[in-house]
Amino acid sequence: MKTQGVCPLLPEDDTPRNDAARMIRKWGPFSAIMAAIALVGVLVLVNEPSDTEQVASPGAGGESAGAGEDGEPGIGAPDPVGQMPLTYAEAEEEGTVDDYDWGDNCDTERGTIKLPSVYAAPCVPVWEGDNGGDTSTGVTGDSIRVVWYDASESGGLDSLLGDAGLKDTSEQQYATIQDWSELYASVSETYGREVELVRYAATGAFDDAVAAQADAELISQDIQPFAVLGGPPSDGGAFADELARNGIICIGCALGMPECKMRENAPYSWGNSPAVSHFIDGLTAWATPSEGHTGLVGNAEYAGDPALQAQERKFGVIHFEQDPPVMTVCPGPSAWGEDWLVETYLLDFATMPQVGTELVAKMKTAGVTSIFFGGDPLMPIYLTNAAESLDYHPEWIFTGTVLTDTNSFARLYNQDQMRQAFGVSQTGVPVNSDNGGALALYRWYFGADAFPDARAGYAVLNANIPRLYRGIQLAGPDLTPETFELAMFRIPPLGGDPVFPQQSHGRWGYFPEVDYNGTDDLAEIWWDADAEGLDETDKPGKGMWRYARGGARFTPDNPPEPAPFVEEDTVTRFEELPEESRGGTYPPPAGSPAASS
């Protein structure tokens, strides 16, 4: 794998330690980078194309193979075009498997590459030939230039965590992202090209739209990559928009961007978390009544106050917002009920305690029995403590946003209040890191005792790289943003088991329009304040999220009936990966550190 030097680095951060940093520091060894990233942040068939043949971009209003009557692509994988390879599953369906050489890297039972992960890409035939040389910006016959956007010194909580000594350094993160790229390159077909990683350091705060647009313009003009990994999460989409205008793909740089805006940017903007409105679709399908589904109707039976328990539910919503807004949805009817009390707050650490008290007081005065929370993992500290001080015990309905569904954070909330906390989780059931997940995958390639340089954030840094390599493999030798788009649409939904959320792009029947985001599903959770066990960083403690139905996940079309505080068939953590969460079992690739040791 080739690497390049660092584009503009920021000067040393001399921000003095403040109260927020001291508070974060005393929490102990929680995986700080997870919070920082989440906040500042969470086939060889077919005809050869002629010189004038163009690949239509379905998201941009073009037509593709299998397009439906609404002009959108049809449900399922669109047909390959140009030099895009056929997958093993497609060849099997056609009865043409024996016509191709699938090589030693294809697990023909699963139809996926030999990567021990449920997110392994579909197999494609062994490739030989001319890749066409320069097929797109950042793509030559030998390389694919990709920028990793380094937001580690971009202000906000990330800086506070660094000041408190609780996060990975920029160098540690960069080394780990290079490691992940090396791992995926070893099992992916890249058609004679190597991914060339370039680190670019953010020049402004995570919510500075002007700096974000300037960064995107500099990247576009001076570095000219094929793709960018990551970006400023609270810039209102300025970074992603500018890259799209310059014809550059960005993966994981559009946190909070409405899916209609992402479709306007097609085929350039890609997310790895649910679109806001798609997430709300799942949440409201679970919570509200529909044909054959009761939802949360009737009295607030899970509130902590008998007086509230006797009242019919009145809902309130508290969610994070920024200026410019990020928690927005596409035009259409409001996701919230007309009589719901909806309150927002800005991510301002200095004012959080006061704002939290004010928000809770409004909810209590309005007679709200049940509060949906959709924001950062710090605000519930102030909200739940304020509610306790006001002797107010509503139902707390958590929505799993930015790691509020982790035990590490939920243990920081007022535990008397958390006895009436339940909701949904966007993440999977925690698992012993030695026996599954990102660390096990890392050690499969680098060795049994290996540990990433980014010891706190290695799992988060593994979010965008596999998407990049899956898209490159399925796009074929003629790599362009348009073929990358169709490649992503051609990959069937992956995951969806208790540990690993389902990921898909395109149209697979879960949402009405083309989906440029990632996660499709949710799990139901409730807080058991008396349960004891290890959190996500293997730290023992009291209080655990329980995942209902063994951690089974659901999409908006099949919501389960809410069943909080029923302990039967719940799980808090897996010591071993359940069968449905396991990929194949394979030896490490030849030439890998693990194979050489």
Q: From CA 198, how far away is CA 138, in angstroms rounded?
A: 11
Q: Are the CB atoms for 111 and 100 separated by under 8 Å? A: no
Question: Phi/psi of residue 293, each to 5°?
Answer: -135, 125
Q: Is the pLDDT of residue 219 over 90?
A: yes
Per-residue pLDDT for 409 more than 60? yes
Mean residue pLDDT of the chain comes to: 84
Mean pLDDT of the 440-458 span:
94
Ramachandran class of 66: left when φ > 0, alpha when ψ lies in -120 to 50, beta otherwise? left
Higher pLDDT pick, 21 / 187: 187
Confidence at residue 593, expressed as pLDDT on a 0 to 100 scale: 97
Q: What is the CA radius of gyration of the chain?
A: 24
pLDDT band of residue 460 (cuts 50, 70, 90) is confident
> What one-letter code names the amino acid at 380?
P
Report the interhelical angle of 379-389 vs 352-365 (nearest 10°). 50
> Which pLDDT belongs to residue 48?
27
For position 322, what pLDDT does the model report? Answer: 65
| Confidence grade of residue 30 (pLDDT, cut at 50, 70, 90) | very low
The pLDDT-based confidence of 403 (bands split at 50, 70, 90) is: confident
Q: For residues 589 and 597, what is the distance between their CA atoms, to the nearest angstrom?
A: 12
pLDDT tens digits along 557-574: 999 999 999 999 999 999
Average of per-residue pLDDT across 59-70? 40
In percent, the amount of the chain with pLDDT more than 70 equals 83
Asked if residue 401 has pLDDT above 70, the reply is yes
Give 508's pLDDT tier (boundaries 50, 70, 90): very high
pLDDT over 60 at 475, yes or no: yes
**pLDDT bucket at 332, cuts 50 / 70 / 90:** low
Question: Is the link from the previous residue into 225 a cis peptide, with omega within 30 of 0?
Answer: no
Structure tokens at 488: 């992503």
Residue 370 has pLDDT above 70, yes or no: yes
Lowest-confidence pick of 55-64, 255-264, 410-419, 464-473: 55-64
pLDDT (0 to 100) of residue 272: 81
Number of H helices, E strands in the chain: 18, 16
| pLDDT for the residue 19 | 31
- Does residue 414 carry a pLDDT above 80? yes
Tokens standing for 218? 């500099």
Which pLDDT score is estimated for 126? 97
Task: Give the pLDDT score at 81.
Answer: 94
pLDDT single digits (tens) 192-215:
999 999 999 999 987 788 999 999
Average pLDDT over residues 379-394: 98
pLDDT higher than 70, residue 45: no
- Statement: residue 449 has pLDDT above 60: yes
Residue of 346 and 362 predicted with greater confidence:
362
Quote the pLDDT of residue 105.
Answer: 97
Q: Specify the pLDDT at position 320.
A: 84
Sign of CA dihedral 514, 483, 178, 228: negative
- Which of 250-264, 375-389, 555-569 comes out lowest in average pLDDT? 250-264
pLDDT, position 437: 85
Residue 11: per-residue pLDDT: 28
The per-residue pLDDT for 329 is 53
Question: Is the pLDDT score of 51 beyond 80?
Answer: no
In 3D, which of 187, 189, 113, 183 has the Cα closest to residue 441?
A: 183
State residue 164's pLDDT score: 39
Question: According to the model, what pLDDT value does residue 234 have?
Answer: 74
pLDDT at 402 over 90: no
Q: Is the peptide bond before 394 cis (omega within 30 degrees of 0)?
A: no
